[in-house]
Chains A and B, each alone.
Chain A
Amino acid sequence: MFEFWIEYDINPLIIFNQKGNIIYCNQEAEVFLSYINKKEVFDFTIKNAPKEKGIKTDFKKIQFKDLEFNGFSIGYQNDNQIGIRLLINTNVHSIRLEELEKVDLSMLLNFAIEYINLKQNTSFKVYYDPSIPEIYLNKKAFLNLLFDIFENQKEVFIQTKINIGEYIKLNEQKYPIISVIIKCTPLKHFNNNFFEIKTNESGYIIQIPLIKEENENHNT
């Protein structure tokens, strides 16, 4: 009778056999495993397994690619199977929509590149998606974030694209998402009130809501 609850739990649960094959995973874990290699997860499970039979729960930040979790529970009853339950990060990151102005995103990026090259020598490669329209965004916050990211970088690759099929809901409005993928050495971790920033080993991804009309949002 508990299977229903486990199946639709918001935390991914995966059970492996001895060889690292998956015996069971719930719905959330299926989504998770479509991004992450199961071997990576199995290795992590074995490495962090409790010494004795039972369940070990640990609350610490763990990361698989750009997916972040707040902790995990790993447990086993016999040598045939081992399970891992990842605890998702439920902190809601709110994005502030303030001082929005209509701008051309690639022009803003070009400006940041020129400005950085006045102060330091960084080689940039860019690949812009020409289908991105002019959007409303807080240009000051965006430029300051870019300046911080580009600081002390030797080589940077920038790509922009619209995420297909992904949306962000802000103030009861649904917006498509623009990703600005910045490949560089991730020197710092950034938290920003205006954008969602994901950090991984190959750099940063800044996600921006695609707001086309000023009155799309009443706070502007």
Chain B
Amino acid sequence: MFLAKSEYLKKIKNLADMARELQLSIYIWGEKGVGKSFLARYIAPNAVINPLNATINPVIIEDFDKNPSLEFKINFFIATGTKPLNKDLLKKYFTMDIELKPLKDHPEDIENFIKLFQKEAKKTLKIEKEINIQSPDISENLNSLKRQVYQHLLYPSSKKETLQLLYEYYLHNHKTYEEELKDFEKTLFSAMRQKYGSKLRISEKLKINRVTLTKKMKALNV
């Protein structure tokens, strides 16, 4: 399945469809996790990946830029890498190159990818749960996004489960009573700060004296 909501990915999909039909040798490059290998497999679905010997099938070679050489002659082959190749090398082996841009350049697609990963993760993990990702992690593009989706799905769903996790943690290691309490307070105050914003509202909601709260937060560096 090829997801394409943005104009950019639609263009890529169109090119990929034609490249498959025309059997063109292409070098795909881009940052980590932008979907280079996926695109390669989309163009050449029956390809052998990183083969050691010559084959009659199309071939996909990953990280071609690290070792830009080909031991055998092949007509239809796709390679991936993180950096662009120089012009001579490109002309020697390929018809052309395609740069896959990072997700931050086409953010319209993020939502769809989250949905896709969620569907996939639910199936793999056999979990029926809805998750809501407020701030997508695209530091490593699709890799980090996928990780984030799985993490969210595996998070404990109730306070009880969270405490159970903590319980299991304490069985292995712990700090002093005072330090543990500090950690707890710090976590609580940070969350409240994000949720309510002002100290006045936090003190109201948590039913704690405002001056005490301010003092504690200052001491904990929240």
Give me the interface of A with B, judged by CB distance under 8 Å. Answer: 101, 103, 107-108, 110-111, 114-115, 117-118, 139-140, 143-144, 147
Contact = CB atoms under 8 A, between A and B. Distances in A.
Measured as residues with beta carbon below 8 angstroms from the partner, the interface class of chain B is 10 to 19
Where chain A touches its partner, the secondary structure class is: helix
Contact of A115 (B15, B25, B75): B15
Given A103-B22, A107-B21, A114-B18, A143 B95 contact: yes
Interface in B98-125: 98
Interface of B: 11-12, 14-15, 18-19, 21-25, 75, 91, 95-96, 98
Contacts of B18: 107, 110-111, 114
Given A139-B95, A144-B95, A114 B22 contact: no
23 contacts: A101-B23, A103-B22, A107-B21, A107-B22, A108-B22, A110-B18, A111-B15, A111-B18, A111-B24, A114-B11, A114-B14, A114-B15, A115-B96, A117-B11, A118-B11, A118-B98, A139-B22, A139-B24, A139-B95, A140-B24, A140-B95, A144-B91, A144-B96
B99 to A, nearest CB: 8
Chief secondary structure at chain B's binding surface = helix
Nearest to A140: B95
A118 B14 CA distance: 11
A31 B184 CA distance: 96
What 8 A-B pairs have minimum CB-CB distances, sorted nearest first? A111-B18, A140-B95, A114-B15, A143-B95, A118-B11, A114-B14, A115-B15, A111-B22
